[in-house]
Amino acid sequence: MSLSGPEIEGLRDYLLSGGFLVIDDFWSTRQWATFENEIEQVLPGYEIVDLTLDYPIFTAFYEIDEIVQVPNINNGIRGGPTHQSDGYVPWGRGIHDENGRLMVVINWNTDLGDAWEWADDPRYPLRYSTYAYEMGVNFIVYAMSN
């Protein structure tokens, strides 16, 4: 992620005006550092927090009882590994506005997008695509009701 000045300003305006952003498919401490640097430019002073499983986004429609590490298509159809680089543990994190509204949901060390993209491929494990769609539905329901 590398944002220009106008992109930083536009994203900040969008988020602070009620927008919702889903970040997905980035792995490892190196990519986290890049993301953290970029999002700090967008939302200076806003804290990134871990979202525990009792957070409402995990129960907005589907009951999510674990953060699943969703692999890319190649690793998924081969049966693993599910991780990339040093991204062994999947995380759900977020950024709230000053009123406590979740503006940014961060899926780190996981790839929900690949599961959405490859759900119709019979080689891709159903467990991952099912989880990814449940999370996607929860994101939409949560964003539309908060």
Phi then psi dihedrals of residue 109, to 5 deg:
65, 40
- 70/80 Cα distance (integer angstroms): 10
Q: How far apart are alpha carbons 87 and 101 in whole angstroms?
A: 28
pTM summary value: 0.92
Q: Kindly report which listed range (21-30, 45-54, 85-94) carries the lowest average pLDDT score.
A: 85-94
Say what percent of the chain tops pLDDT 70.
100
Question: What are 93-117's pLDDT values in tens digits?
Answer: 999 999 999 999 999 999 999 999 9
**What pLDDT is recorded for position 83?**
81
Say if residue 88's pLDDT is above 90. Answer: no
Q: What is the pLDDT of residue 76?
A: 85
Q: Residue 81: is its pLDDT beyond 90?
A: no
Q: Please state the domain extents for the chain.
A: 5-145
CATH architecture label of 5-145 = 3-Layer(aba) Sandwich (3.40)
Look over the chain and give the mean of its residue pLDDT values, rounded to a whole number: 94
